[in-house]
Amino acid sequence: MRVTSRLLGRIRGGVHPPGNKDFSADAAIRELAAPSTIIIPMHQHIGAPCTPRVKKGDEVYVGTVIGDSDSYVSAPVHSSVSGVVIQVAPQAHPTGGEVLAVLIDNDGEYLGDPSLAVPGPWEDMEADEIRQGVRDAGMVGLGGAAFPTHVKLSPPREHPIDTVILNGAECEPFLTSDYRLMLEQPEAVLEGLRIIMRAAGAARGIVAIEDNKPQALKVMAMANRGGGIEVTPVATRYPQGAEKVLIASLLGREVPSGGLPMHVGVVVNNAGTAHAIARYFSTGMPLVERVVTVTGSVVREPSNLMVRIGTSFSAAIEACGWFTEPPGKVLMGGPMMGLAQYTLDVPVIKGTSGILALSRGETEYSIPSEPVCIRCGRCVDACPMGLIPTYLASYAYSEKWDAAARLNIEDCFECGCCTYSCPTKNPLVQLIKTGKKELARRKKRLESQASKVAASGREGEGGNG
Protein backbone atom coordinates (compact mmCIF):
# COMPACT_ATOMS: atom_id res chain seq x y z
CA MET A 1 0.00 0.00 0.00
CA ARG A 2 1.39 3.36 -0.99
CA VAL A 3 -0.19 6.74 -0.48
CA THR A 4 1.60 10.04 -0.89
CA SER A 5 1.74 11.83 2.46
CA ARG A 6 2.28 15.42 1.36
CA LEU A 7 -0.57 17.35 -0.19
CA LEU A 8 -0.04 18.11 -3.86
CA GLY A 9 -2.10 19.85 -6.46
CA ARG A 10 -2.23 23.49 -5.43
CA ILE A 11 -3.45 24.85 -8.73
CA ARG A 12 -3.12 28.18 -10.49
CA GLY A 13 -6.36 30.12 -10.43
CA GLY A 14 -9.55 28.20 -9.93
CA VAL A 15 -12.51 28.80 -7.62
CA HIS A 16 -14.07 27.11 -4.64
CA PRO A 17 -17.83 26.74 -5.22
CA PRO A 18 -19.98 24.88 -2.68
CA GLY A 19 -19.39 21.17 -3.16
CA ASN A 20 -22.95 19.98 -2.49
CA LYS A 21 -21.71 16.38 -2.48
CA ASP A 22 -23.75 15.49 0.61
CA PHE A 23 -26.90 15.07 -1.46
CA SER A 24 -25.67 11.77 -2.91
CA ALA A 25 -22.24 10.93 -1.44
CA ASP A 26 -23.66 8.27 0.89
CA ALA A 27 -26.02 6.76 -1.69
CA ALA A 28 -24.66 3.38 -2.79
CA ILE A 29 -24.80 2.60 -6.50
CA ARG A 30 -28.00 0.80 -7.45
CA GLU A 31 -29.03 -0.79 -10.73
CA LEU A 32 -31.74 0.97 -12.72
CA ALA A 33 -34.03 -1.21 -14.80
CA ALA A 34 -34.06 -0.01 -18.39
CA PRO A 35 -37.32 1.39 -19.79
CA SER A 36 -39.36 -0.32 -22.50
CA THR A 37 -37.80 1.83 -25.23
CA ILE A 38 -34.09 2.60 -25.47
CA ILE A 39 -32.74 5.46 -27.61
CA ILE A 40 -29.06 5.09 -28.53
CA PRO A 41 -27.51 8.02 -30.45
CA MET A 42 -24.88 7.37 -33.08
CA HIS A 43 -22.78 10.27 -31.79
CA GLN A 44 -21.70 10.00 -28.15
CA HIS A 45 -18.05 10.98 -28.38
CA ILE A 46 -15.57 13.51 -29.71
CA GLY A 47 -14.83 12.71 -33.33
CA ALA A 48 -16.75 11.24 -36.25
CA PRO A 49 -20.30 10.00 -35.62
CA CYS A 50 -21.11 6.37 -36.22
CA THR A 51 -23.05 4.97 -39.14
CA PRO A 52 -25.92 2.67 -38.12
CA ARG A 53 -25.16 -1.02 -38.61
CA VAL A 54 -28.76 -2.11 -38.02
CA LYS A 55 -32.17 -1.31 -39.50
CA LYS A 56 -35.81 -1.44 -38.47
CA GLY A 57 -36.86 -4.96 -37.55
CA ASP A 58 -33.37 -6.27 -36.74
CA GLU A 59 -32.95 -8.32 -33.58
CA VAL A 60 -30.20 -7.12 -31.25
CA TYR A 61 -28.64 -8.26 -27.99
CA VAL A 62 -26.74 -6.65 -25.16
CA GLY A 63 -23.36 -5.78 -26.65
CA THR A 64 -24.40 -5.96 -30.32
CA VAL A 65 -22.57 -3.36 -32.41
CA ILE A 66 -25.31 -1.08 -33.75
CA GLY A 67 -23.11 1.75 -35.00
CA ASP A 68 -19.50 2.21 -36.09
CA SER A 69 -17.25 4.45 -38.16
CA ASP A 70 -14.17 4.00 -40.32
CA SER A 71 -12.72 7.17 -38.83
CA TYR A 72 -9.84 6.70 -36.42
CA VAL A 73 -11.16 9.28 -33.96
CA SER A 74 -14.46 7.59 -33.19
CA ALA A 75 -15.84 4.74 -31.10
CA PRO A 76 -18.43 2.06 -31.87
CA VAL A 77 -21.83 2.08 -30.21
CA HIS A 78 -23.46 -1.03 -28.78
CA SER A 79 -26.96 -2.02 -27.80
CA SER A 80 -27.52 -1.91 -24.05
CA VAL A 81 -30.55 -4.24 -24.14
CA SER A 82 -31.85 -7.17 -26.13
CA GLY A 83 -34.87 -6.68 -28.35
CA VAL A 84 -35.91 -5.42 -31.78
CA VAL A 85 -34.98 -2.21 -33.57
CA ILE A 86 -38.07 -0.01 -33.83
CA GLN A 87 -36.58 2.63 -36.10
CA VAL A 88 -33.44 4.54 -37.00
CA ALA A 89 -34.21 8.25 -36.98
CA PRO A 90 -33.05 11.65 -35.65
CA GLN A 91 -33.79 12.11 -31.94
CA ALA A 92 -33.26 14.86 -29.37
CA HIS A 93 -29.74 14.74 -27.94
CA PRO A 94 -28.60 15.99 -24.49
CA THR A 95 -25.83 18.11 -26.05
CA GLY A 96 -28.43 19.97 -28.13
CA GLY A 97 -30.24 19.51 -31.43
CA GLU A 98 -31.01 16.14 -32.97
CA VAL A 99 -28.73 13.22 -33.75
CA LEU A 100 -29.37 10.03 -35.68
CA ALA A 101 -30.28 7.32 -33.17
CA VAL A 102 -31.35 3.67 -33.00
CA LEU A 103 -34.58 3.04 -31.08
CA ILE A 104 -34.88 -0.43 -29.56
CA ASP A 105 -37.91 -2.19 -28.11
CA ASN A 106 -36.49 -3.69 -24.88
CA ASP A 107 -37.65 -7.29 -24.43
CA GLY A 108 -36.54 -7.30 -20.78
CA GLU A 109 -34.41 -10.43 -21.24
CA TYR A 110 -30.99 -8.69 -21.44
CA LEU A 111 -29.53 -11.53 -23.47
CA GLY A 112 -25.86 -11.05 -24.32
CA ASP A 113 -24.69 -11.04 -27.92
CA PRO A 114 -23.45 -14.54 -28.87
CA SER A 115 -20.28 -13.04 -30.36
CA LEU A 116 -19.13 -11.57 -27.04
CA ALA A 117 -16.07 -13.23 -25.52
CA VAL A 118 -13.62 -12.48 -22.74
CA PRO A 119 -10.53 -10.99 -24.47
CA GLY A 120 -8.15 -13.07 -22.37
CA PRO A 121 -5.67 -12.16 -19.63
CA TRP A 122 -4.56 -8.62 -20.41
CA GLU A 123 -1.20 -9.37 -18.79
CA ASP A 124 -0.45 -11.66 -21.74
CA MET A 125 -1.54 -9.19 -24.39
CA GLU A 126 0.55 -6.75 -26.39
CA ALA A 127 -0.20 -3.04 -26.14
CA ASP A 128 -1.71 -2.99 -29.64
CA GLU A 129 -4.08 -5.81 -28.70
CA ILE A 130 -5.22 -3.97 -25.59
CA ARG A 131 -5.83 -0.78 -27.55
CA GLN A 132 -7.82 -2.70 -30.15
CA GLY A 133 -9.92 -4.25 -27.39
CA VAL A 134 -10.53 -0.84 -25.86
CA ARG A 135 -11.70 0.43 -29.23
CA ASP A 136 -13.90 -2.61 -29.90
CA ALA A 137 -15.54 -2.04 -26.51
CA GLY A 138 -16.48 1.55 -27.45
CA MET A 139 -14.54 3.08 -24.56
CA VAL A 140 -14.49 6.85 -24.24
CA GLY A 141 -13.66 9.20 -21.39
CA LEU A 142 -16.51 8.97 -18.90
CA GLY A 143 -15.70 12.21 -17.11
CA GLY A 144 -17.80 14.12 -19.61
CA ALA A 145 -15.50 14.92 -22.56
CA ALA A 146 -16.01 11.44 -24.13
CA PHE A 147 -12.74 11.39 -26.07
CA PRO A 148 -12.17 7.93 -27.63
CA THR A 149 -9.87 6.11 -25.21
CA HIS A 150 -7.97 4.04 -27.79
CA VAL A 151 -6.78 7.26 -29.44
CA LYS A 152 -5.55 8.64 -26.13
CA LEU A 153 -3.63 5.39 -25.54
CA SER A 154 -1.93 5.53 -28.96
CA PRO A 155 0.63 8.36 -28.84
CA PRO A 156 3.21 8.59 -31.64
CA ARG A 157 6.65 7.16 -30.94
CA GLU A 158 8.19 10.60 -30.58
CA HIS A 159 5.98 11.19 -27.53
CA PRO A 160 6.48 8.21 -25.19
CA ILE A 161 4.26 8.06 -22.10
CA ASP A 162 5.92 7.66 -18.70
CA THR A 163 2.97 8.43 -16.40
CA VAL A 164 -0.74 7.66 -16.34
CA ILE A 165 -2.85 9.84 -14.04
CA LEU A 166 -6.16 8.40 -12.92
CA ASN A 167 -8.51 11.31 -12.29
CA GLY A 168 -10.48 10.63 -9.13
CA ALA A 169 -10.71 14.30 -8.17
CA GLU A 170 -14.34 14.68 -9.27
CA CYS A 171 -14.12 18.41 -8.60
CA GLU A 172 -17.42 19.31 -10.26
CA PRO A 173 -19.97 20.16 -7.54
CA PHE A 174 -22.82 17.70 -6.81
CA LEU A 175 -21.34 14.75 -8.76
CA THR A 176 -20.40 11.59 -6.82
CA SER A 177 -20.39 8.75 -9.38
CA ASP A 178 -16.60 8.33 -9.40
CA TYR A 179 -16.50 8.66 -5.62
CA ARG A 180 -18.94 5.78 -5.20
CA LEU A 181 -17.04 3.62 -7.70
CA MET A 182 -13.79 4.14 -5.79
CA LEU A 183 -15.52 3.26 -2.51
CA GLU A 184 -17.44 0.24 -3.76
CA GLN A 185 -15.18 -1.25 -6.46
CA PRO A 186 -11.64 0.03 -5.84
CA GLU A 187 -9.98 -3.16 -7.11
CA ALA A 188 -11.68 -2.83 -10.51
CA VAL A 189 -10.70 0.85 -10.77
CA LEU A 190 -7.06 0.00 -10.02
CA GLU A 191 -7.14 -2.97 -12.39
CA GLY A 192 -8.32 -0.64 -15.14
CA LEU A 193 -5.45 1.71 -14.35
CA ARG A 194 -2.94 -1.13 -14.72
CA ILE A 195 -4.45 -2.07 -18.08
CA ILE A 196 -4.20 1.54 -19.23
CA MET A 197 -0.58 1.73 -18.05
CA ARG A 198 0.31 -1.39 -20.04
CA ALA A 199 -1.41 -0.08 -23.18
CA ALA A 200 0.35 3.28 -22.86
CA GLY A 201 3.72 1.79 -21.97
CA ALA A 202 3.89 3.77 -18.71
CA ALA A 203 5.73 2.52 -15.64
CA ARG A 204 4.13 5.00 -13.25
CA GLY A 205 0.49 5.42 -12.28
CA ILE A 206 -0.99 8.08 -10.01
CA VAL A 207 -4.49 8.04 -8.56
CA ALA A 208 -5.36 11.68 -7.78
CA ILE A 209 -8.20 12.25 -5.28
CA GLU A 210 -9.19 15.58 -3.75
CA ASP A 211 -8.50 15.78 -0.02
CA ASN A 212 -12.19 16.36 0.75
CA LYS A 213 -12.73 12.65 0.04
CA PRO A 214 -10.71 10.98 2.85
CA GLN A 215 -12.73 7.78 2.73
CA ALA A 216 -11.99 7.29 -0.96
CA LEU A 217 -8.30 7.94 -0.33
CA LYS A 218 -8.29 5.36 2.44
CA VAL A 219 -10.17 2.68 0.48
CA MET A 220 -8.13 3.12 -2.69
CA ALA A 221 -4.85 3.08 -0.75
CA MET A 222 -5.84 -0.16 1.02
CA ALA A 223 -6.77 -1.78 -2.30
CA ASN A 224 -3.53 -0.67 -3.96
CA ARG A 225 -1.26 -3.69 -3.78
CA GLY A 226 0.40 -3.39 -7.17
CA GLY A 227 3.75 -1.81 -7.92
CA GLY A 228 4.14 1.49 -9.71
CA ILE A 229 0.91 3.07 -8.46
CA GLU A 230 0.59 5.96 -6.02
CA VAL A 231 -2.63 7.11 -4.38
CA THR A 232 -2.25 10.86 -3.97
CA PRO A 233 -4.40 13.49 -2.22
CA VAL A 234 -4.63 16.79 -4.07
CA ALA A 235 -5.96 20.15 -2.95
CA THR A 236 -9.71 20.61 -3.17
CA ARG A 237 -10.23 23.40 -5.67
CA TYR A 238 -12.17 23.56 -8.90
CA PRO A 239 -11.15 22.69 -11.68
CA GLN A 240 -8.61 20.34 -10.13
CA GLY A 241 -9.89 17.44 -12.26
CA ALA A 242 -9.10 19.06 -15.61
CA GLU A 243 -6.32 17.00 -17.18
CA LYS A 244 -3.96 19.89 -17.93
CA VAL A 245 -4.46 21.21 -14.40
CA LEU A 246 -3.77 17.80 -12.85
CA ILE A 247 -0.61 17.37 -14.89
CA ALA A 248 0.72 20.76 -13.81
CA SER A 249 -0.19 20.35 -10.14
CA LEU A 250 1.04 16.75 -9.77
CA LEU A 251 4.07 16.68 -12.05
CA GLY A 252 4.97 20.33 -12.61
CA ARG A 253 4.69 19.84 -16.36
CA GLU A 254 2.85 22.40 -18.48
CA VAL A 255 1.10 21.20 -21.60
CA PRO A 256 2.10 23.65 -24.36
CA SER A 257 -0.48 25.92 -25.97
CA GLY A 258 -2.42 23.88 -28.50
CA GLY A 259 -0.80 20.70 -27.20
CA LEU A 260 -2.04 17.50 -25.60
CA PRO A 261 -0.98 15.64 -22.44
CA MET A 262 1.03 13.20 -24.56
CA HIS A 263 3.33 16.09 -25.47
CA VAL A 264 4.59 16.03 -21.88
CA GLY A 265 4.59 12.23 -21.56
CA VAL A 266 1.28 11.81 -19.74
CA VAL A 267 -2.09 10.16 -20.24
CA VAL A 268 -5.02 11.15 -18.01
CA ASN A 269 -8.05 8.90 -17.65
CA ASN A 270 -11.17 9.04 -15.54
CA ALA A 271 -11.84 6.59 -12.69
CA GLY A 272 -15.09 5.52 -14.34
CA THR A 273 -13.29 4.83 -17.61
CA ALA A 274 -10.75 2.62 -15.81
CA HIS A 275 -13.59 0.70 -14.15
CA ALA A 276 -15.33 0.13 -17.50
CA ILE A 277 -12.09 -1.07 -19.11
CA ALA A 278 -11.46 -3.53 -16.29
CA ARG A 279 -14.99 -4.84 -16.63
CA TYR A 280 -14.55 -5.38 -20.37
CA PHE A 281 -11.32 -7.35 -19.98
CA SER A 282 -12.83 -9.54 -17.25
CA THR A 283 -16.26 -10.17 -18.83
CA GLY A 284 -16.07 -9.22 -22.51
CA MET A 285 -18.96 -6.75 -22.06
CA PRO A 286 -18.45 -3.47 -23.95
CA LEU A 287 -19.49 -0.05 -22.67
CA VAL A 288 -23.27 -0.37 -22.41
CA GLU A 289 -23.90 1.24 -19.02
CA ARG A 290 -22.38 3.76 -16.65
CA VAL A 291 -22.88 5.28 -13.19
CA VAL A 292 -24.94 8.48 -13.24
CA THR A 293 -25.46 10.79 -10.26
CA VAL A 294 -29.05 12.05 -10.20
CA THR A 295 -29.05 14.90 -7.73
CA GLY A 296 -29.96 18.47 -6.89
CA SER A 297 -32.03 20.46 -4.43
CA VAL A 298 -35.37 19.46 -6.01
CA VAL A 299 -34.66 15.73 -6.53
CA ARG A 300 -36.64 13.75 -3.97
CA GLU A 301 -34.09 10.92 -3.51
CA PRO A 302 -30.64 11.89 -4.85
CA SER A 303 -28.95 8.70 -6.02
CA ASN A 304 -26.07 7.10 -7.87
CA LEU A 305 -27.51 4.80 -10.51
CA MET A 306 -25.98 2.22 -12.82
CA VAL A 307 -27.84 3.23 -15.97
CA ARG A 308 -27.95 1.52 -19.36
CA ILE A 309 -26.95 3.77 -22.24
CA GLY A 310 -30.09 4.99 -23.98
CA THR A 311 -32.25 5.26 -20.86
CA SER A 312 -34.21 8.52 -20.81
CA PHE A 313 -33.45 11.25 -18.28
CA SER A 314 -37.08 11.09 -17.21
CA ALA A 315 -36.76 7.38 -16.34
CA ALA A 316 -33.65 8.05 -14.26
CA ILE A 317 -35.33 10.93 -12.40
CA GLU A 318 -38.48 8.86 -11.85
CA ALA A 319 -36.35 6.17 -10.20
CA CYS A 320 -35.26 8.86 -7.72
CA GLY A 321 -38.78 9.80 -6.70
CA TRP A 322 -39.17 12.61 -9.26
CA PHE A 323 -39.05 16.29 -8.17
CA THR A 324 -40.19 17.87 -4.93
CA GLU A 325 -41.12 20.99 -6.93
CA PRO A 326 -40.87 22.06 -10.57
CA PRO A 327 -37.16 22.60 -11.33
CA GLY A 328 -35.80 25.86 -12.60
CA LYS A 329 -33.23 24.06 -14.70
CA VAL A 330 -32.08 20.49 -15.41
CA LEU A 331 -28.47 19.97 -16.49
CA MET A 332 -26.49 17.09 -17.88
CA GLY A 333 -23.38 17.18 -15.72
CA GLY A 334 -22.59 19.59 -12.90
CA PRO A 335 -23.38 23.28 -12.39
CA MET A 336 -20.03 24.54 -13.71
CA MET A 337 -19.77 22.71 -17.05
CA GLY A 338 -23.16 21.06 -17.39
CA LEU A 339 -25.50 21.51 -20.34
CA ALA A 340 -29.05 22.79 -19.77
CA GLN A 341 -31.82 20.52 -21.08
CA TYR A 342 -35.00 21.64 -22.82
CA THR A 343 -36.64 18.22 -22.48
CA LEU A 344 -36.25 15.16 -20.27
CA ASP A 345 -36.95 12.87 -23.21
CA VAL A 346 -33.25 12.69 -24.06
CA PRO A 347 -31.13 9.59 -23.48
CA VAL A 348 -28.27 8.97 -21.12
CA ILE A 349 -25.14 8.80 -23.25
CA LYS A 350 -21.57 7.71 -22.50
CA GLY A 351 -20.67 11.22 -21.35
CA THR A 352 -23.57 11.60 -18.91
CA SER A 353 -21.82 11.80 -15.55
CA GLY A 354 -24.82 13.34 -13.82
CA ILE A 355 -28.33 14.70 -14.09
CA LEU A 356 -28.69 17.81 -11.94
CA ALA A 357 -32.00 19.49 -11.12
CA LEU A 358 -31.91 22.90 -9.46
CA SER A 359 -34.71 25.07 -8.05
CA ARG A 360 -35.97 28.21 -9.72
CA GLY A 361 -34.45 30.31 -6.97
CA GLU A 362 -31.01 28.83 -7.67
CA THR A 363 -31.15 29.44 -11.41
CA GLU A 364 -33.02 32.71 -11.89
CA TYR A 365 -30.77 35.74 -12.23
CA SER A 366 -30.48 38.57 -14.71
CA ILE A 367 -27.87 38.47 -17.46
CA PRO A 368 -26.76 41.80 -18.96
CA SER A 369 -27.92 42.39 -22.53
CA GLU A 370 -24.37 43.46 -23.40
CA PRO A 371 -21.09 42.54 -21.69
CA VAL A 372 -20.23 44.99 -18.92
CA CYS A 373 -16.67 44.71 -17.61
CA ILE A 374 -15.59 46.74 -14.56
CA ARG A 375 -11.94 45.71 -15.00
CA CYS A 376 -11.79 43.99 -11.62
CA GLY A 377 -9.53 41.19 -12.92
CA ARG A 378 -11.31 38.41 -11.03
CA CYS A 379 -11.78 36.31 -14.16
CA VAL A 380 -8.05 36.61 -14.93
CA ASP A 381 -7.15 35.51 -11.40
CA ALA A 382 -9.57 32.58 -11.63
CA CYS A 383 -8.50 31.24 -15.02
CA PRO A 384 -6.41 28.06 -14.49
CA MET A 385 -4.96 28.40 -18.00
CA GLY A 386 -3.61 31.93 -17.45
CA LEU A 387 -5.87 33.44 -20.13
CA ILE A 388 -7.65 36.81 -20.14
CA PRO A 389 -11.32 35.76 -20.29
CA THR A 390 -12.76 39.28 -20.39
CA TYR A 391 -10.80 40.08 -23.56
CA LEU A 392 -11.64 36.73 -25.15
CA ALA A 393 -15.34 37.20 -24.44
CA SER A 394 -15.25 40.79 -25.73
CA TYR A 395 -13.54 39.73 -28.96
CA ALA A 396 -16.07 36.92 -29.46
CA TYR A 397 -18.95 39.32 -28.83
CA SER A 398 -17.59 41.82 -31.37
CA GLU A 399 -16.58 39.03 -33.79
CA LYS A 400 -12.89 39.90 -33.73
CA TRP A 401 -11.89 36.33 -34.40
CA ASP A 402 -8.22 36.88 -35.25
CA ALA A 403 -7.69 38.86 -32.05
CA ALA A 404 -9.31 36.06 -30.03
CA ALA A 405 -7.07 33.50 -31.72
CA ARG A 406 -3.96 35.53 -30.91
CA LEU A 407 -4.92 35.42 -27.22
CA ASN A 408 -5.11 31.59 -27.41
CA ILE A 409 -8.87 31.24 -27.08
CA GLU A 410 -8.57 27.60 -28.11
CA ASP A 411 -6.66 26.84 -24.90
CA CYS A 412 -9.83 27.50 -22.89
CA PHE A 413 -11.37 24.22 -21.74
CA GLU A 414 -14.61 25.92 -20.71
CA CYS A 415 -14.43 25.26 -16.97
CA GLY A 416 -16.60 28.29 -16.20
CA CYS A 417 -14.37 29.77 -13.46
CA CYS A 418 -14.49 33.15 -15.21
CA THR A 419 -18.28 33.33 -15.29
CA TYR A 420 -18.51 32.09 -11.70
CA SER A 421 -16.16 34.79 -10.44
CA CYS A 422 -17.59 37.72 -12.48
CA PRO A 423 -19.40 40.22 -10.22
CA THR A 424 -21.41 41.65 -13.14
CA LYS A 425 -22.71 38.21 -14.22
CA ASN A 426 -21.20 38.41 -17.68
CA PRO A 427 -21.67 35.14 -19.60
CA LEU A 428 -17.94 34.97 -20.28
CA VAL A 429 -17.53 31.25 -20.85
CA GLN A 430 -20.63 31.16 -23.07
CA LEU A 431 -19.18 33.90 -25.29
CA ILE A 432 -15.82 32.12 -25.37
CA LYS A 433 -17.55 28.88 -26.43
CA THR A 434 -19.20 30.79 -29.28
CA GLY A 435 -15.83 32.16 -30.33
CA LYS A 436 -14.20 28.73 -30.29
CA LYS A 437 -16.99 27.25 -32.42
CA GLU A 438 -16.75 30.06 -34.96
CA LEU A 439 -12.96 29.69 -35.23
CA ALA A 440 -13.40 25.94 -35.73
CA ARG A 441 -15.92 26.61 -38.52
CA ARG A 442 -13.55 29.10 -40.14
CA LYS A 443 -10.70 26.60 -39.98
CA LYS A 444 -12.88 23.92 -41.54
CA ARG A 445 -13.94 26.26 -44.35
CA LEU A 446 -10.33 27.21 -45.09
CA GLU A 447 -9.26 23.57 -45.17
CA SER A 448 -12.13 22.77 -47.52
CA GLN A 449 -11.20 25.63 -49.83
CA ALA A 450 -7.54 24.58 -49.81
CA SER A 451 -8.58 21.03 -50.65
CA LYS A 452 -10.67 22.24 -53.59
CA VAL A 453 -7.80 24.39 -54.87
CA ALA A 454 -5.40 21.46 -54.62
CA ALA A 455 -7.85 19.16 -56.42
CA SER A 456 -8.31 21.75 -59.15
CA GLY A 457 -4.56 21.98 -59.57
CA ARG A 458 -4.23 18.23 -59.95
CA GLU A 459 -6.96 18.20 -62.59
CA GLY A 460 -5.14 20.93 -64.48
CA GLU A 461 -1.88 18.98 -64.43
CA GLY A 462 -3.69 15.93 -65.74
CA GLY A 463 -5.16 17.94 -68.62
CA ASN A 464 -1.72 19.17 -69.66
CA GLY A 465 -0.34 15.65 -69.68
Q: What is the pLDDT of residues 343-371, one digit of tens each?
A: 999 999 999 999 999 999 999 877 777 77
Could you tell me the residue ranges of all domains in the chain? 30-116+286-362, 120-283, 378-441
| Residue of 449 and 64 predicted with greater confidence | 64
In this prediction, residue 367 carries a pLDDT of 74
In this prediction, residue 37 carries a pLDDT of 97
pTM of the model: 0.93
The mean pLDDT value of the chain amounts to 93
Tens digit of each residue's pLDDT (9 = 90 or more) over 141-179: 998 789 999 999 999 999 999 999 999 999 999 999 999
Tens digit of each residue's pLDDT (9 = 90 or more) over 377-427: 999 999 999 999 999 999 999 999 999 999 999 999 999 999 999 999 899
| Residue of 361 and 226 predicted with greater confidence | 361
**C-alpha to C-alpha distance for 277 and 290, rounded to whole angstroms:** 12
In this prediction, residue 4 carries a pLDDT of 45
In this prediction, residue 443 carries a pLDDT of 87
pLDDT of 3 > 50? The answer is no
Q: Which CATH number fits domain 120-283: 3.40.50.11540, 3.40.50.720, 3.40.50.11030, 2.40.50.100?
A: 3.40.50.11540
The answer to whether domain 30-116+286-362 has CATH 3.10.20.600 is yes
